[in-house]
């Protein structure tokens, strides 16, 4: 039998030094909705657990001077949903985070955990990528920033350096005429893992798309930023050809696998379908701003 040590530091510095000192034998604990499941299955056997939920910065929601948001990586989906303004600015990001699991899971699960768990099917990740979110990371060598799409490295792996902790997500200010959305395909209506997930963020001026970002989940070893799809949308008025071109770009970006959750052919087709549906919702929200 192995003993597990548990730490719940109040400062980031303490957390980073304990985490780094354990040299890979440690695991960060946010909501634990992935970690505890993996420990129970015997997939991971940490010698040290560093609980980050007691660190104020990691569970805060702050509005940045520029008009954006900075959300702590360990905040739960339920807490984020209660914020009076976040969901108005980023309805797509919020709905993606709130799709994770059930009511019980929502009380624990965090966007930081969703990203760092490294699942290509993590629901909040495509929405965060579409939003152009940037993470602040703190490690033994100090702080750095990286775009969300630069974090995943493959199923269950990230580009975080040893000892690094994701502290927060910074979402940029929203120009007028912006909207975002996230849709996932699951066979059930809830309590399921995305077979394909798609996040779209748009800015429209006078009906023309001036900015667009597309994130695509569960179709490749990592969640993808699909720049070709965004390019197909920018400058368009979301005519059928533009949407079809963006859908084609999404299909082209897919490098899926056959598994118990879906086939290659199915995932590729669905990626295109979801792009169109998600873009339509994002555009509607942009128009309503």
Partner 1 sequence: MNVISDKLQVEGNRWIGTRTVRPDGADKVTGRAAYAADNTMPGMIWGKVLRSPHAHAVIRSVDTSKAEALPGVKAVVTARDIVDFPVDKSVMLGIQDMRWMCRNVMAREKALFHGHPIAAVAAINEEVAAEACRLIEVDYEVLPHVIEIEDAIRPDAPILHDFLKHEGKPSNIAGTMTAKLGDVEAGFAEADVIVERTFRTRPVHQGYIEPQACTVSYAADGRATIWSSSQGQFMVRAMTSLLTGVPQSNIKAIPAEIGGGFGAKTIIYLEPLALLLSKKSGRPVKMVMTREEVMRATGPTSGSFSTVRIGAKKDGTIVAAQGTFYIQAGCLPGGPLRGPVGCAFAPYEIPNVLSVGFDVVSNRSKVAAYRAPGAPLGAYAAECVLDEVAEKLGMDPLELRLKNSAKPGSKAAYGATFGKVTFEETVEAIRTHEHYKAPLERNPRPGVRRGRGVASGFWYNAGGESSAQVNITEDGNVLVTTGHPDVGGSRASIANVTAELLGIEHGRVSVQIGDTSSIGFSNLTGGSRVTFASAMVVTQSTEKVITQLRERAAKIWKIDPEAVTWENGEARPAGPNAGQFPPLTLKELAAKANEMGGPIGAGVQLNTQGADPGFATHVVDVEVDVDLGIVRVLRYTAAQDVGRALHPSYVEGQIQGGVVQGIGWALSEEYLYDRQGRLDNAGFLDYRMPVCSDVPMIEPVMLEIPNPKHPQGVRGVGEAPIVPPLAAIANAVYDALGKRFYSLPMSPPKVLEALEE
Name which of partner 1, ligand FAD, none residue 110 binds, using a CB cut-off of 5 to 8 Å depending on partner kind.
ligand FAD
Q: Output the smallest distance, CB 70 to ligand FAD, in A.
A: 14
Is position 123 an interface residue for ligand FAD (rule: CB under 6 A)? yes
Is position 283 an interface residue for partner 1 (rule: CB under 8 A)? no
Single residue of 101, 120, 256, 262 touching ligand FAD by CB under 6 A? 101
Kindly list the distances between the CA atom of residue 229 and the CA atoms of 201, 220, 244, 252, 280, in Å, as whole numbers in the listed order.
12, 16, 9, 10, 14
Orientation angle between helical segments 91-98 and 124-131, nearest 10 degrees: 170
Is position 265 an interface residue for partner 1 (rule: CB under 8 A)? yes
Q: Output the smallest distance, CB 8 to partner 1, in A.
A: 24
Placement of tokens 């429209």 in the chain: 204
Query: The tokens of 201 are what?
Result: 């963020």
Cβ count within 10 A of residue 26: 21
Is position 122 an interface residue for ligand FAD (rule: CB under 6 A)? yes
Burial annotation 209-245 (CB, 10 A radius, 16+ → b, else e): bebbbbbbbbbbbbbbbbeebbebbbebebeeebbeb
Q: Output the smallest distance, CB 242 to ligand FAD, in A.
A: 29
Closest CA to 288 of 174, 131, 182: 174
Nearer to partner 1, 26 or 270 (CB): 270
Is position 269 an interface residue for partner 1 (rule: CB under 8 A)? yes
Cβ count within 10 A of residue 142: 8
Is position 266 an interface residue for partner 1 (rule: CB under 8 A)? yes
Q: Residue 104, class by beta-carbon neighbours within 10 Å (0-12 exposed, 13-18 middle, 19+ buried)?
A: exposed
228 close to 255: Cβ distance less than 8 angstroms: no
Name which of ligand FAD, partner 1, none residue 35 binds, using a CB cut-off of 5 to 8 Å depending on partner kind.
ligand FAD
Name which of partner 1, ligand FAD, none residue 98 binds, using a CB cut-off of 5 to 8 Å depending on partner kind.
none
Site for partner 1, residues 168 to 197, rule: CB under 8 A: 185, 187-193, 195
Is position 103 an interface residue for partner 1 (rule: CB under 8 A)? no
CA distance 74 to 53: 6
Single residue of 75, 89, 94, 109 touching ligand FAD by CB under 6 A? 109
Q: Which x/- pattern over 154-173 shows residues binding ligand FAD (rule: CB under 6 A)?
A: -----------xx-------
Name which of partner 1, ligand FAD, none residue 248 binds, using a CB cut-off of 5 to 8 Å depending on partner kind.
none
Residues that bind partner 1 (CB under 8 A): 1, 185, 187-193, 195, 260-263, 265-266, 269-270, 273
């Amino acid at each position: 039998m192995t003993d597990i040590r548990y730490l719940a530091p109040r400062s980031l510095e303490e957390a980073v030094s304990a985490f780094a000192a354990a040299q890979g034998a440690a695991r960060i604990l946010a909501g634990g909705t992935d970690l505890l499941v993996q420990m129970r299955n015997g997939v991971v056997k940490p010698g040290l657990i560093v609980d980050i939920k007691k660190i104020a910065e990691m569970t805060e929601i702050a509005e940045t001077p520029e008009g954006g948001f900075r959300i702590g990586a360990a905040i739960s989906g339920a807490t984020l949903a209660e914020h009076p303004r976040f969901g108005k600015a980023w309805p797509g990001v919020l709905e993606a985070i709130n799709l994770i699991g059930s009511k019980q899971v929502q009380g624990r699960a965090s966007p930081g955990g969703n990203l760092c768990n490294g699942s290509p099917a993590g629901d909040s990740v495509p929405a965060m990528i579409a939003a152009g979110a940037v993470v602040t990371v703190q490690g033994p060598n100090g702080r750095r920033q990286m775009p969300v799409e630069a974090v995943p490295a493959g199923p269950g792996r990230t580009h975080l350096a040893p000892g690094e902790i994701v502290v927060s997500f910074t979402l940029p200010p929203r120009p007028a005429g912006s909207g975002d959305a996230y849709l996932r395909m699951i066979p059930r209506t809830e309590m399921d893992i995305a077979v394909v997930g798609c996040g779209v963020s748009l800015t429209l001026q006078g009906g023309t798309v001036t900015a667009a970002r597309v994130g695509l989940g569960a179709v490749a070893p990592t969640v993808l930023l699909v720049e070709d799809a965004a390019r197909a949308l920018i400058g368009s008025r979301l005519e059928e050809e533009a949407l079809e071109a963006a859908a084609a770009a999404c299909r082209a970006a897919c490098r899926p696998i056959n598994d118990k959750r879906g086939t290659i052919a199915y995932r590729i087709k669905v990626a295109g379908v979801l792009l169109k549906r998600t873009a339509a919702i994002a555009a509607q929200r942009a128009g309503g701003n």
